[in-house]
Structure 1
């Protein structure tokens, strides 16, 4: 596996659409960025990297991460899978590389509630 994997990060305002091949993220802005040693990173490290990259104030805002995956044994039907821990992150990267999935991540930034 390459030391740096290039991910497409989808973000901003938009709607998740469903087409004949499943999830369609074309309404969102997209930027490609590389993550060095992605399969070795913890979920917390990836979140912190995204927080810095998107210039999010972690005191006032949070983020959710969903990866585009296909559970079809033959062909592809794209779904969004929430990623919320290191085990799921590492398994996603492993499966994406094994199955030649596009490395596509939907990042949703939200304002934290006053608690």
Structure 2
């Protein structure tokens, strides 16, 4: 669930494991939030942030939102930018450069890439 005001857009919940496919539409009754259901499933701060979200007059189907790109749609470029940020944040690319296949830290990954059954020119882009 994407919630403004919560770290990573996620909300702490008390959801049982089998509820991982709960949709926002399950939290709405009529044209209002179903406060009792929301209070039973989410933390106090999550409830406050969820109830701040206005519900539109027109009923639209739920849709996926990619929180790492302003328009909410996933693009290869936005995925790449996120991957670079993660790499730099974990200090794998300390010199702001690439990584060679001789790097022992990722030896298994490189072995997998070079073992793929694709054209060699494709492997250079991975």
TM-score (norm. length: structure 1): 0.21
Greater share of residues in strand: 1
**Larger relative contact order (CA 8 Å, sep ≥ 6):** 1
Looking at CA atoms only, which structure, 1 or 2, has the larger radius of gyration?
Answer: 2
Greater share of residues in helix: 2
